[in-house]
Amino acid sequence: MNEKVVATNRKAYHDYFLEESWEAGIALTGTEIKSVRLGRVNLRDSFVKVEQGQAWLWNVHVSPYEHGSRYNVNPTRPRKLLLHKDEIQRLAQKLQGRNLTLVPLRIYIKGNRAKVEVALAKGKRQYDKREAIAERDARREIERETKERERG
């Protein structure tokens, strides 16, 4: 099946060390799925909480659908993630007692369903972030020099 990526959480790649990832469905209303298909989603500062045997997606901003009128809902409401019970229990166990969190990495349309990729993540310290930026800049510099050598 082909996937159409609707939104990515670029900040998550910068702020966290990502360990494992899972695919989950999202419970959306009719007007929300229309906004998601139009790409009107923001994942910045969003996270996943496991409460009472269910996984919830918090702080994801889905803009109200323009033609939705009274059927539009709160843009930042918590949304239920559709996972199997054993997957949710496994996630809850991994989160327990360790400084880990669940962050959404991207929302995409697979077939005609909205999916979210959720990753188990550990927060980076400030020096880790600076180190990652330095590595990225060094890699870009090396690529730039190799392209110049190939040309000239």
pLDDT tens by residue, 98-113: 789 999 999 999 998 9
CATH number reported for the structural domain that contains residue 97 in this entry: 2.40.280.10
Does the pLDDT value for residue 1 go beyond 70? no
Over the Cα atoms of the chain, what is R_g?
18
Q: In the numeric block, which tokens belong to residue 44?
A: 């910045």
Answer yes or no: are the C-beta atoms of 12 and 116 closer than 8 Å. Answer: no
Look at residue 141 and tell me if it is in a domain: no
- 142 falls within a domain: no
CB atoms within 10 A of CB 63: 15
Q: Is residue 111 part of a domain?
A: yes
Rounded CA-CA distance 71/68 in Å is 6
Domain assignment of residue 129, yes or no: no
Does residue 133 form part of some domain? Answer: no
pTM (predicted TM-score): 0.79
Residue 100 within any structural domain of the chain: yes
Q: Give 44-65 pLDDT, tens digit per residue.
A: 889 999 999 999 999 999 988 8
Overall number of domains in the chain: 1
* 139 within domain boundaries: no
Task: Output the average pLDDT for the chain.
Answer: 89
35 lies in some domain: yes
Residue 58 belongs to what domain range?
3-123
- Asked if 57 contacts 101 with a C-beta cutoff of 8 angstroms, the reply is no
